[in-house]
Structure 1
Amino acid sequence: MDYEKIAREIVDLVGGEKNVASLVHCATRLRFTLKDETKANKGKLENTEGVITVKVSGGQFQVVIGNTVPEVYSAIGKVSNILSDSKSSESTDEGKKGNIVGRTIDVISSIFAPLLGVMAGAGILKGLLLIATNFNWLDTESTTYIILFAASDSLFYFLPLILAVTTARKFEGNMFTALTVAGALLYPSIVSLHSEGVATDFFGIPVTMMSYSSTVIPIILSVIVMSKLEKLCNRLIHESVKNFVTPLISLVVMVPLTLIVFGPIGVNTGNAIADALVTAFGFSPLIAGAILGASWQLLVIFGVHWGLVPVFINNVAVYGRDGVKPAATASVFAQTGAAFGVFLKTKNKKLKALAGSATITALFGITEPAVYGVTLRLKRPFIAGIIGGAVGGAIIGHAGTQAFASGAPGLLTLPIFYGPGGEGFPGLIIGIVAAFLISAVLTYILGFEDPVEETEANDESKEIKEKSDEKVYSPLSGKVVALADVPDPAFSSEAMGKGIAIDPTVGRVVSPVAGTVTVAFKTKHAIGLVSDSGAEILIHVGIDTVQLDGKFFTSHVNQGDKVAVGDLLLEFDIEEIKQAGYKVVTPIIITNTSSYTEITATETSSTSEKEVLVRLNV
């Protein structure tokens, strides 16, 4: 797959890089914040190779790619300046458009999306270590365990440092200053003030010391304010000294301010949210699990699931476990089961292949291909997935399953749900199996509108067309000229393909076939078509007329338009073109000549529109 080609098409169809305020990616999506969403061509993007679908939600223009999103994201960085760390103030202002909910979700997803891959990897490792120690396969005192545990836990321990980087990128603050502020929160002497219970003040102002390891909210609040302070300082401080005076002011102000204000607010807010969710699940874990299991994929579709991601992470940080996330796992396996049900039932070969590959992908936590490509499109399977997710979520909630690390729900991340003693883990396994089987069976029983008959008919019709001869009708009226007599070796040598030419008497070109416009040159002097039977045709009006840059030409079609035989494609002024010093003899080339055993041109000396000009034998 040509990722750079896909990247260029995506950048062009979102309105160009100047229309992009910011871009991040998660496990399957490119998440654009656009300055003007009306400039994006959503329809063409959805039909672009490598793009599964496009969603506009939460203040973001989301291009769903699937498993190859990191490669496409990287390619965008190669073909554009979108991923540059420096953004203009204009882009920030534009990114603030939208309602408060949309802006909030945009902020959360931009901050956390870059971490999901490594967070899942670290979570899996942490879960495997839990299993290994529970079964006495590994001693917690061994140096092997200590090294592996450090690898699994460092992300979470130093989470404020990592969030400082992603938050600074989002709010266009200095990443190194943000890292320094976060580092101060984890500095050994600061940690000692909390652990030893030392009464702390800053110039007489009491400071409530807390543990900031693994915390989420304090550093995000701090870096947001820091980025505003930096912009203010940079406007007021002279250029000759601002490069070191601004960071100085930021550190002197933000570190104490974070410890005095943002730290306590953030930690206490996080604790309150965690307590509220624990209380909700404590009141009726079965009902709460059923609701989350049923609704999680709906939240993902609208992009609002990002509001819960910090909650999951915060619960693990506060309690060392999270009882909310496990129920969402049921939703993932439910949609997987629904896609598998489609795979079993459909007679359509293309849909079966899509459903099969989507099922495998979804088993590992990437559900977008299954949801957007299969279940949601067919409707009933998606509903079956919601029902299966509700049942599975209820079982998991009732079992009291906990997550002990972060990671996207899937087969590989199941170890993150295995805690000390393995309590709740059997309930998780029962829940996801039930969600999968119920969704698959319901999909098979309820059925769906299978496009098998229509597709088979189309395939059969296409096969008949491909096996029969094809006629290419004349796109112009005029004198027939042998291709060898065209005064341009690119055409006369048949290097571009076999065909014929016409010296026109009327300045209009109509479609010689029923098909699609594949190329509509900006200079309007030429047009490319592909017939419904597969013939690729180039009509080039005149010799070297590209130099006219569209002058004396009028185009009536655009790239992608469907056309029938005789539909007007373009008009041109014969006399004006001749007076400008150009010949109007027009080659009609079959550019995929090698696909045919024989190409026979008409033997008449003149032709009119819609008369048979060329016969193609397969």
Structure 2
Amino acid sequence: MATTTSTPEAILEAVGGPGNIVSFTHCATRLRFELHDASVIDKATVEKIPGVMGAVPQAGDRYQIVIGGAVASVYEQINNLPAMKAAGGSGSGSGGQTDADVKAAARAKARGKNALVDAFFEYLSDSFRPLLPVLLGASLIIAGEAICEAFHLINTHAENVDKPATLLFVDAMFRSVFYFLPVMVAYNASKKLKIDPWVGASVMAALLTPEFLFLSSQEFKDKGVTTCVHNAAINSDLCTVHVAGLPLQLNGYGGQVFVPLLMVAVLALVYKGLVKVVPDNVQMVFVPFLSFCIMMPVTAFLIGPLGVWIGNGLGTGLKLLNDTAPIIFAIIIPMVYPFLVPLGLHWPLNALMLANIAPNSPTGGKDFIQGPMGAWNFACFGATAAVLLWSIRDRDREMRQTATGALFAGLFGGISEPSLYGIHLRFKRIYPFMLVGCAVGGIIEGIGGGVKTGTFAFTSLLTIPVFDPMVLYAIAVAAAFGTSFFLITTFGYRTKEERAEALAAAGVIEADAAAASAAATATAPADAADEPAAATATAADEPAEAPADEPAEEPKPALEPGAVTEIVAPLAGTIMPLSKVDDPVFSTGVVGQGAGISPADGKTIVVTAPAAGTLAVAPDSGHAYGITLDSGVEVLIHVGLDTVQLAGKGFDVKVKQGDRVTAGQELVRVDRKTVEDAGYSLTTPVLITNTDKFASVEVIAEGEISPDAPLIRVTAPES
């Protein structure tokens, strides 16, 4: 394995990459994967990865990779890998949330109760999302033309006959995307509804052919075949031609998005109905043929005009608001966008933007939504830049990597999702400051009378020239960026507690954190950093205070050469050898040596801390507790086997990660019936996870054991 490959990268590669992951969670010691195909994993290769303690294949295509106490950090690092972000994230569960987790949770909370609404937004999203890269590419070509026009090198507003061939060719490069957008949307929408996407694309393409366009030609108008009436509401001519005796309204469908969305919804019903009635051996021919015969006329005569009117109506309504109260409109858009994007509710606005830039739209091919949207995007990027500055100041390598990638994607790609899901939704302090930046940018645009553009542009540094007036837009987005950046740089994006935890996790304030923990322990003097913890029992069992003329040897910390320390049982029950625990992760000793305890009879199982220390692991599910004892011994108490699947049901948790605990303090109360009814074992492994630091780890009890009775003896090497 290449030495340049990090542990998270090596693990992701070993499980087959993001595309092979169905779901991804972790518990107290291991990464848990559900895969499309677990056969691609080579167990020996996985176990050679630095930091991996073991690999455990599970039933079906589930797989577990044992990490130990660093599992939460490795889980976060895997989810923050560019490959995982590009795939949209696959993680779920406790211990940190991926981009997809945040998005799914927000959607479930906001609109999970209505399946039809949920399906509608997913339909919109999946019809447009695959087109974002080509829309971005086309918008950059337009931005290049705008820059050249600003220096009077070209004139993009000239008639085609007056343009040089080079400029016409460059125009064709970006117009290919926008003109044939209905075909692309139809293709994606058909895939979403699980019908042949080429059938959907072909139906829509019929309205873009030279033959269909010729129906609106001057030749047909001169012959009287096509008649046109001027419509003042949309400031355009409405033309009609009679086909087979029926009136057909002629529209320009280039750039339309509502028409293909409506058409495919109807086509899916027709197509699936034909599949049921047409014999299998002729479906390849007759299902597309009959779909064309039905849907091409229906689209041309009914759905096409209806879709155009819907798009025009929505565009006209928003244009009226923008014309009558531009400052209100310019503030509303950037203020609501930070909430629409996480919920997936921004797609209707994206559809309106595309409808507005269509040549025959009531807005004259100009969109007025993207300008205010730019204020939100740059406020978002300003917040990310401030987080990057903080991460550099705090030497927080993980956050620095996340913020750097997100800021680059934002400023040069106009993509807000890496910032939003990777940073902003994780820290509650960011949103209020970011919203102030949104408001400032919107107010500036509103006071200036609004900003428009003639293309669908990702609001990045590279596309500033496509907005008109460019200077007003540039000032507005700079103000939005600067406001968010200043506020978060000044006031921070984390609480004091969150920052302290992050710095400690990064090893930046390890000594300070240790001193703070010692100072917080009421039973120890302030300068007792080198003293043994009072709650740690030793085999010598020396008296706490010896006569002055016969001083007793002080008990040693567990990691001091030759020290012998006993760890007591955290619950009542029957001891079993670790090898008998029905989980290979524990029974093989890969996590550490120790014993299993089958809890004593009773409705409630009470688990307590074996000695004073700090909770390094304490997930919300309540199923596991990793305690770094003051003596230096690291203890893992795993309450039951696979009980992480209960997600906290039946577990009354009394503590949280980072808490100081004392000997005998309750960690959790477990309802036996809830766990057993769910089919999970209550066998509780008690392990010494830093076994490798000791000369021996012995189980010193057998049979029945009560809480606080000696269970495990650890002996440090002599030197």
Q: Who is 2:316 aligned against?
A: 275
Query: Following the alignment from structure 2 to structure 1, what is the Cα–Cα distance between the partners of residues 647 and 255?
Result: 52
Change (3 A) 1:570 1:396: closer
Change (3 A) 1:211 1:443: same
Asked whether 1:429 is paired with 2:474, we answer yes
CA-to-aligned-CA distance 1:47-89 (integer Å, 9 cap, x gap): 3567562444567999xxxxxxxxxxxxxxxxxxxxxxxxxxx
**Aligned equivalent of 2:246, options 202, 205, 208:** 205
Query: Following the alignment from structure 2 to structure 1, what is the Cα–Cα distance between the partners of residues 639 and 315?
Result: 68
Write the mapping of 1:40-439 to structure 2, written as runs, cut at 5 A: 44=93, 47-48=96-97, 53-56=102-105, 98=114, 101-135=117-151, 145-196=167-218, 198=220, 199=226, 200-318=241-359, 319-341=364-386, 350=396, 353=400, 356-357=403-404, 358-363=406-411, 364-371=413-420, 374-375=423-424, 379=428, 381-397=430-446, 398=448, 400-417=450-467, 423-439=468-484
Which runs of 5 or more structure 2 residues have no equivalent in the other structure? 1-8, 27-31, 37-83, 157-162, 221-225, 227-240, 519-528, 531-556, 560-564, 656-664, 673-683
Determine what percentage of the aligned residue pairs are the same residue.
23
**Aligned equivalent of 1:8, options 22, 27, 31:** 22
Deviates more, 1:300-309 or 1:338-347: 338-347
- Does the residue aligned with 2:373 lie in a helix, a strand or coil? helix
1:315, 1:322 within 8 Å by CA — same for their partners in 2? yes
Q: Who is 1:545 aligned against?
A: none
Query: Following the alignment from structure 1 to structure 2, what is the Cα–Cα distance between the partners of residues 195 and 376?
Result: 53
Deviation at 1:102, TM superposition (A): 4.4
CA-to-aligned-CA distance 1:302-356 (integer Å, 9 cap, x gap): 4322221100011111333312211110011123324444565798665974884
CA-to-aligned-CA distance 1:272-294 (integer Å, 9 cap, x gap): 33333333222232332122232
- Does the residue aligned with 1:220 lie in a helix, a strand or coil? helix
Change (3 A) 1:144 1:461: same
Q: What one-letter code is carried by the residue in structure 2 that aligns with 1:231?
A: K
Deviation at 1:601, TM superposition (A): 3.6
1:160, 1:216 within 8 Å by CA — same for their partners in 2? yes
2:383, 2:488 within 8 Å by CA — same for their partners in 1? yes
Change (3 A) 1:310 1:46: farther
Change (3 A) 1:427 1:139: closer
Query: Following the alignment from structure 2 to structure 1, what is the Cα–Cα distance between the partners of residues 343 and 323?
Result: 28
Q: What one-letter code is carried by the residue in structure 2 that aligns with 1:614?
A: R
Change (3 A) 1:102 1:559: closer
Deviation at 1:431, TM superposition (A): 0.4
2:593, 2:687 within 8 Å by CA — same for their partners in 1? yes
TM-score, length of structure 1 as denominator length: 0.68
- Does the residue aligned with 2:177 lie in a helix, a strand or coil? helix
Asked whether 1:451 is paired with 2:493, we answer no
Change (3 A) 1:379 1:138: same
- Does the residue aligned with 1:304 lie in a helix, a strand or coil? coil
CA-based RMSD: 5.2
Change (3 A) 1:210 1:501: closer
Deviation at 1:400, TM superposition (A): 3.9
Deviates more, 1:238-247 or 1:203-212: 238-247
Which runs of 5 or more structure 1 residues have no equivalent in the other structure? 18-25, 33-40, 63-94, 418-422, 521-526, 542-549, 572-585
Change (3 A) 1:599 1:404: farther
CA-to-aligned-CA distance 1:515-566 (integer Å, 9 cap, x gap): 6589x9xxxxxx987444794769999xxxxxxxx9xxx9899688879789
1:27, 1:366 within 8 Å by CA — same for their partners in 2? no
Query: Following the alignment from structure 1 to structure 2, what is the Cα–Cα distance between the partners of residues 555 and 532?
Result: 22
CA-to-aligned-CA distance 1:86-140 (integer Å, 9 cap, x gap): xxxxxxxxx9x71765444333222112212221122122222332344355798
- Does the residue aligned with 2:247 lie in a helix, a strand or coil? strand
Query: Following the alignment from structure 2 to structure 1, what is the Cα–Cα distance between the partners of residues 134 and 685?
Result: 57
Query: Following the alignment from structure 2 to structure 1, what is the Cα–Cα distance between the partners of residues 479 and 667?
Result: 58
Change (3 A) 1:270 1:502: closer
1:555, 1:569 within 8 Å by CA — same for their partners in 2? no
CA-to-aligned-CA distance 1:544-593 (integer Å, 9 cap, x gap): xxxxxx9xxx989968887978979999xxxxxxxxxxxxxx99765664
1:55, 1:61 within 8 Å by CA — same for their partners in 2? no
2:21, 2:33 within 8 Å by CA — same for their partners in 1? no
1:342, 1:355 within 8 Å by CA — same for their partners in 2? no
1:315, 1:321 within 8 Å by CA — same for their partners in 2? yes
Change (3 A) 1:190 1:608: same
Query: Following the alignment from structure 1 to structure 2, what is the Cα–Cα distance between the partners of residues 177 and 557?
Result: 44
Query: Following the alignment from structure 1 to structure 2, what is the Cα–Cα distance between the partners of residues 133 and 304?
Result: 36
Write the mapping of 1:579-618 to structure 2, written as runs, cut at 5 A: 593-594=691-692, 596=693, 598-601=695-698, 608=705, 610=708, 611=710, 613-615=712-714
TM-score, length of structure 2 as denominator length: 0.59
Query: Following the alignment from structure 2 to structure 1, what is the Cα–Cα distance between the partners of residues 419 and 668?
Result: 40
CA-to-aligned-CA distance 1:202-242 (integer Å, 9 cap, x gap): 21112122221111122222221111112222333344444
Paired residues, what number?
Answer: 528
Query: Following the alignment from structure 1 to structure 2, what is the Cα–Cα distance between the partners of residues 505 and 447?
Result: 46
1:186, 1:212 within 8 Å by CA — same for their partners in 2? yes
Deviation at 1:181, TM superposition (A): 0.7
Q: What one-letter code is carried by the residue in structure 1 that aligns with 2:445?
A: I
Query: Following the alignment from structure 2 to structure 1, what is the Cα–Cα distance between the partners of residues 101 and 599?
Result: 47
- Does the residue aligned with 1:8 lie in a helix, a strand or coil? strand
